Amino acid sequence: MKLHREMWNGLVAIEGIDGAGTTTLSRLLSETLNKRGRSFTSGCEPTPGPVGRLIREALAGRIPLEPKTLARLFTADRHEHLFGTGGIRKVLDSGAIYLTDRYFFSSLAYQTLDADWEWVDELNADFPLPGHLIFLGIPVSDAMIRLSSRSSREIFEHSELQIRVSEAYKKSLDAYRNSGMKILELDSRNPPADLRDASLKFIEDLI
């Protein structure tokens, strides 16, 4: 594991299992930063780009892919997210904050269902650490209740898989806990406004 890697302080990553509320928190933080006039950009993984669209088709079950192929696609999409036109690197160079709904910790949680954790970690070894990582924890049973309202589910959105994803997230957070990256763990069953306020306090050095 490559602990001593480059760190991008203005990069804020939001992580959690499906149903944890990462997208909701990203939206609430974006709304608040916009009101405060702080320059920022928000994005997500998979991205809306061509590789990201292919990944979403695979996640929806419409394109069958081997697990390691999917893992490599996530890596390619992440590289574009970081270094492509209008990507994270350019945003941070402008002095703005970048909020990403999922980052390589999602690969360490999801792609390790079918591949060795060490292999997935090495696949992502050249990517920088975010300066701030916000992890939304939630019991799988509660997450499944939230997901039950969706009209369709992705290939990973099943309780037996999410239990393993949750365990892989814990392993990954522990592995990077002493990396110098700031980590905030929240209970996503709390009100969204409380999660937003705690996250804003966590990243106040950037604001």
Q: Which of 54-63, 95-104, 193-202 is predicted with the least confidence, judged by mean pLDDT? A: 54-63
Number of domains the chain is built from: 1
Q: Which residue has the higher pLDDT, 2 or 79?
A: 79
Distance (Å, whole) CA 173 – CA 126: 18
The DSSP 8-state label assigned to residue 112 in this structure reads G
Confidence of residue 5 (pLDDT cuts 50, 70, 90): confident
Convert the pLDDT of each residue in 144-167 to its tens digit.
Answer: 898 887 766 777 778 888 999 999
Burial of 76 (0-12, 13-18, 19+ CB in 10 A): middle
Mean pLDDT to the nearest integer, 12-34:
96
For residue 41, being part of any structural domain is answered with yes
For residue 148, being part of any structural domain is answered with yes
What's the CA angle centered on 52, arms 138 and 95, to 5 degrees? Answer: 80
What range does the domain containing 22 cover? 7-202
Q: What is the mean pLDDT of the chain?
A: 94
For residue 207, being part of any structural domain is answered with no
Residue 73 belongs to domain with CATH number: 3.40.50.300
For residue 65, being part of any structural domain is answered with yes
**What is the number of H-type helices and E-type strands within the chain?**
9, 5
For residue 2, being part of any structural domain is answered with no
Distance (Å, whole) CA 49 – CA 55: 10
For residue 35, being part of any structural domain is answered with yes
pLDDT above 90 covers what percent of the chain? 86
For residue 1, being part of any structural domain is answered with no
For residue 75, being part of any structural domain is answered with yes
**What's residue 45's pLDDT?**
98
Convert the pLDDT of each residue in 71-125 to its tens digit.
Answer: 999 999 999 999 999 899 999 999 999 999 999 999 999 999 999 999 999 999 9
